[in-house]
Structure 1
Amino acid sequence: REREREMGFLPWRQFATLLVVFSFLSLSFSEQAPYYTFMKNATEAAAVSYYDYIIVGGGTSGCPLAATLSKFSRVLLLERGGSPYRNANISNLAHFADTLSDDSPDSPSQRFVSEDGVINARARVLGGGSCLNAGFYTRAAPDYVRAVGWDGALVNESYRWVERVVAHEPPMLQWQSAVRDGLLEVGVTPYNGFTYDHIVGTKIGGTIFDREGNRHTAADLLQYADPQGLTVLLWATAHRILFRTRGGTPTTPLPPSECKISIDGDGREVIICPV
């Protein structure tokens, strides 16, 4: 062993430790927004390609779902709009109103009128509504988590996973302070200070805008993705989804308000995330 040290050989335990460290670093490797090599225009897509999962809709559900699944699978994420990056109307708080007022054909905001006659806007951009909304962030009530049967520990872990990238403590400026003081004055107590938790009383919630006024959207969560396991196609509209039947039983989607999942005989899935 002394001779091995003199010749520069590492003892096997040290070698094994280094191997584990380098393996961990390799598995932890990710790409930072906006420099995603897996994001491209749909016109650049391969003529034929195969995936374990195809996610239609790159919004606040589609982006984190794609990032998670890419760790162990081949994932294709289709987004009908463009990239939120290098667009000042999206990225900076000062241009918040400009995004909603832009009605050009390629605008991240698509105007529509509901059946009740209410004028509204829907997102047409990677990151979905988090690219357009006012950016308030909070957690769900614990009672809600229990009611739907979710694993509370896993939910809390998921909150932290999201918050590390997109959530921030907002500055308390004059308007925010006035609203806080008004709520306390009329008896909305206790005062809980800054917290992401959904609790009784008045609190300072989170925001997806940082202290410099930069917006952090759901698209930023794609930095958690394995670049080798994910392909994101922009300006990609899904016109039809073809369902294959087996044994006379067709695959059927869930109601439109939920993520629709169809599973073929090979275990592959098409997931539609409209939000």
Structure 2
Amino acid sequence: MSAAHMGRAAALILATLLASSCVSVSVTVASKEARRYNFRFVRHARDAPAVSYYNYIVVGGGTAGCPLAATLSEHSRVLLLERGGLPYGNRNVSSEYHFADALADTSPLSPAQRFVSEDGVVNARARVLGGGSCLNAGFYTRASAGYVRAAGWDARLVNASYRWVERALVFRPGVPRWQRALHAGLLEAGVTPDNGYTLEHLPGTKIGGTIFDRRGRRHTAADFLRRAHPRRLTVFLHATVSRVLFRPGGKKKPVAYGVVFTDSVGGEHHVYLRGGGGAARTR
């Protein structure tokens, strides 16, 4: 969940914006499940118009895409395209007690998609709104100050972005007996100092944050969309982007002006940019 850790600033930094802008179009009503979670701007891709226009197009509703789309919607019309479905209502995502079940789920609608790396390692990538934050172990920590400096980021803005994320997603965990034993063992083995509970990246042993609340309920990057402007954001689920459209730009650098995506029944949809917005790919 590294991109979401940065909240507004890091999502904007990690996603490369290209150029263009304009007005969104209205589409059909939100799904029953989306309305249940007050996501009235979330729709199935098969309900998308054949052609539409937005200020910004964000490809991939993961840990970078969700905060990026939410913050861009404060002032612009934004389209977010996600090839998976909603994380809500799926106990394999929402409950820490079923954490391993999500990775074992091989059904076509699983939030996890199995793949084998080039060196033969079996792994899983997210296929759900909220991205990897719906599948990972939920541990939260800030990056080190050295990492932020090396990346060339504004430390003040990064820290403000961390706080933005932490207010929405991060909780102080309970520490059961086996974790207390591990904590004591690390200190006895010389992994010192004991930093206690902290979100900072520090040498030694510490208790970090978690995205599971005290009831064992996971909070994901999809929750950032609750902060979006509901009339300026549209999210299409089960939308697979097949092409990013480019035209020649200044100094021979191509500039994105739209995308083509398909829905779950094979329908093809074109989305275009006009003006001064942009297209961002977050995966």
Q: TM-score range by the shorter chain?
A: 0.7 to 0.9
Residue 90 (structure 2) aligned to one of 87, 99, 116: 87
Larger radius of gyration: 1
Distance 1:81 1:250 in 2: 31
Residue 199 (structure 2) aligned to one of 191, 196, 209: 196
- Are 2:115 and 1:109 equivalent residues in the alignment? no
- Structure 2 residue matching 1:241: 3-state secondary structure: strand
- Are 2:282 and 1:273 equivalent residues in the alignment? yes
CA-to-aligned-CA distance 1:93-139 (integer Å, 9 cap, x gap): 11111100000111100000011000000000000000011010000
Q: Is the 8 A contact 2:41 2:233 kept in 1?
A: yes
**Structure 1 residues 32 and 213: CA distance shift in structure 2, 3 A:** farther
Aligned twin of 2:141 = 138
Residue 35 (structure 1) aligned to one of 34, 38, 42: 38
Residue 171 (structure 2) aligned to one of 168, 172, 195: 168
**Structure 1 residues 200 and 230: CA distance shift in structure 2, 3 A:** same
**Which amino acid is the alignment partner of residue 160 of structure 2?**
E
Distance apart, 1:61 and its partner CA: 0.5
- Structure 2 residue matching 1:228: 3-state secondary structure: coil
Aligned twin of 1:64 = 67
Aligned twin of 1:207 = 210
**Paired residues for 1:16-27 under 5 Å:** none
Aligned twin of 2:57 = 54
- Structure 2 residue matching 1:115: 3-state secondary structure: coil
Higher strand share: 2
**Which amino acid is the alignment partner of residue 188 of structure 1?**
V
Distance apart, 1:247 and its partner CA: 7.1
**Structure 1 residues 49 and 210: CA distance shift in structure 2, 3 A:** same
Distance apart, 1:148 and its partner CA: 1.4
Distance 1:201 1:176 in 2: 16
Paired residue total? 235
- Structure 2 residue matching 1:193: 3-state secondary structure: strand
- Normalised by the length of structure 1, the TM-score is 0.81
Distance apart, 1:33 and its partner CA: 8.6
- Structure 1 residue matching 2:38: 3-state secondary structure: coil
Residue 119 (structure 1) aligned to one of 122, 137, 148: 122
Distance 1:265 1:200 in 2: 48
**Structure 1 residues 181 and 247: CA distance shift in structure 2, 3 A:** closer
**Paired residues for 1:240-251 under 5 Å:** 240-245=243-248, 249-251=252-254
Aligned twin of 1:22 = none
**Structure 1 residues 120 and 130: CA distance shift in structure 2, 3 A:** same
Distance apart, 1:48 and its partner CA: 2.9
Q: Is the 8 A contact 1:33 1:223 kept in 2?
A: no
Distance apart, 1:192 and its partner CA: 1.0
Q: Is the 8 A contact 1:54 1:270 kept in 2?
A: yes
**Which amino acid is the alignment partner of residue 55 of structure 2?**
D
**Structure 1 residues 247 and 116: CA distance shift in structure 2, 3 A:** closer
State the identity as a percent.
62
Aligned twin of 1:78 = 81
After superposition, the CA RMSD in angstroms is: 2.1
Can you give the 5+ residue segments of structure 1 that lack an aligned partner in the other structure?
1-30, 254-262
- Structure 2 residue matching 1:125: 3-state secondary structure: coil
**Structure 1 residues 247 and 101: CA distance shift in structure 2, 3 A:** closer
CA-to-aligned-CA distance 1:224-251 (integer Å, 9 cap, x gap): 1111111111000001111123579351
Aligned twin of 2:221 = 218
